[in-house]
Amino acid sequence: MTTVASRFQGVIPPVCTPRTADGAIDVPSLENLTRHLLDGGVTGLFVNGSSGEVTHQTNDERDTVLKTIAGVNAGQVPLLVGAVEQTTNRVVEEARRMVSLGADAIVATSQYYAISNAEETGRHIRTVASAVDVPVFVYDVPVRTHFKMPTDLLLELGREGVIAGVKDSSGDDVSFRQLLIGAKDIPNFDIFTGHEVVVDGALLGGAQGVVPGLGNVDPAAYRRMYDLSVAGDWAGVAAEQDRIADVFNIVYTPKPGRLSGNAAGLGAFKTALVLMGIIKTNVMSAPMLSLDEDETAAIKVILERTGLI
């Protein structure tokens, strides 16, 4: 695997969490998926993120997931681990437990369910960062937290060394670009896009990495795109991005209205991984439904035409 400049740059997929038919964490499948990602050339792994259904897992399950991935990874790439809880006190507990189990960095969101504001959010992140001795990244995901991290706050936290970077899943490309520009003079501050289909623009604008849920399915494609960007071959990057966008169509195969947004997207990744022989079932965490036979067949068509099976 080519080395990349910083510990936290490049392609860092949020690892899916396979379950067995009866709903338990499927450890062998998770081990296999981890190997698939490392073989695909990823430069880091994002553990216990939204794509990993972290919010649907009990604490015991979260621990199992991190221990399993850490065991296979054995230090090959850094593990960025989510501490996804509602409020400061709970995030601190979660972050400390994750660090004790091997997290190389912690990824934390703003508070949710709580109705907060920018000033509280600043204190929240500072408290989390001071509670652990590994780097902390902010995960900006307003579609879930219903709070958009202010660019000014992110830059302030970066300049003061409180946070090591940002995973942006805000869907707000203007603020993303302004974050990239504002952070140019901040050393050791890495910015990742979480959006699978706009990685070319993100890299052209200066992003240090990408955290694509679709990277579970095709990690090598994201690695190719990243390497082309390092080489300055932007037309190549865009062409690869267009190919990936077709793979991304798997998330639109569920019948309209049958599944929640969560279940459709993550279920499509899992179903593709089953079809590719990497995990055993496409079972989702309760109460989410899994993709059915028709939807699976539609995904098979896409995987075949994009050369993934």
> Which are the contacts of 75, defined by CB distance < 8 A and separation ≥ 6?
none
Q: Which of 112, 167, 226, 270 is catalytic?
A: 167
By CB under 8 A, name the one of 21, 74, 286, 293 that touches a copy of itself.
Answer: 286
Catalytic residue among 139, 222, 226, 270: 139
Choose the stretch contacting a copy of itself; rule: CB under 8 A; options: 32-40, 220-228, 254-262, 298-306. Answer: 254-262
Residue indicated by tokens 């694509």: 212
| Residue 139 appears among annotated catalytic residues | yes
Q: What is the distance between the alpha carbons of residues 160 and 71, in angstroms, rounded to a whole number?
A: 34
User: Which of helix, strand or coil describes residue 61?
Assistant: helix
255 binds a copy of itself (CB under 8 A): no
Non-local CB neighbours of 125 within 8 Å, separated by 6+ positions: 108, 110, 136, 138, 157, 162, 163
Cβ of residue 222: shortest distance to a copy of itself, in angstroms? 15
Q: Does 173 interact with a copy of itself (rule: CB under 8 A)?
A: yes
Q: Which stretch binds a copy of itself (CB under 8 A): 8-16, 26-34, 65-73, 140-148?
A: 140-148
* Min dist. Cβ of residue 74 to a copy of itself (A): 29
Burial of 45 (0-12, 13-18, 19+ CB in 10 A): buried
Shortest spacing between CB 154 and a copy of itself, in angstroms? 15
The answer on whether 92 is annotated among ligand-binding residues is: no
CB 58 within 8 A of CB 22: no
Span between the terminal Cα atoms of the chain, in Å: 23
For the CB of residue 277, give the shortest distance to a copy of itself in the complex, in Å: 28
Size of interface with a copy of itself, in residues (CB under 8 A): 65
Look up 112 and say whether it is catalytic.
no
- Which one, of 35, 20, 44, lies nearest residue 290 by Cα? 20
Question: What's the min distance (Å) between Cβ of 44 and a copy of itself?
Answer: 23
User: Is the Cβ–Cβ distance between 221 and 19 less than 8 Å?
Assistant: no
How far apart CA 133 and CA 31 sit, in angstroms, is: 27
Question: Of 75, 174, 187, 293, which lies in the binding site for a copy of itself, with binding defined by CB under 8 A?
Answer: 174
Residue 307 structure tokens: 């050369």
Comparison of 78 and 212: residue with beta carbon closer to a copy of itself: 212
Q: Does 99 bind a copy of itself (CB under 8 A)?
A: no
Task: Show contacts with a copy of itself in window 193-252 (CB under 8 A).
Answer: 195-198, 200-202, 204-206, 232, 234-235, 237-238, 241-242, 245-246
Rounded CA-CA distance 92/240 in Å is: 39
CA-closest candidate to residue 137, choices 105, 114, 110: 105
Binding-site residue set for pyruvate:
211
Binding-site residue set:
211
Which residues are known catalytic residues?
139, 167
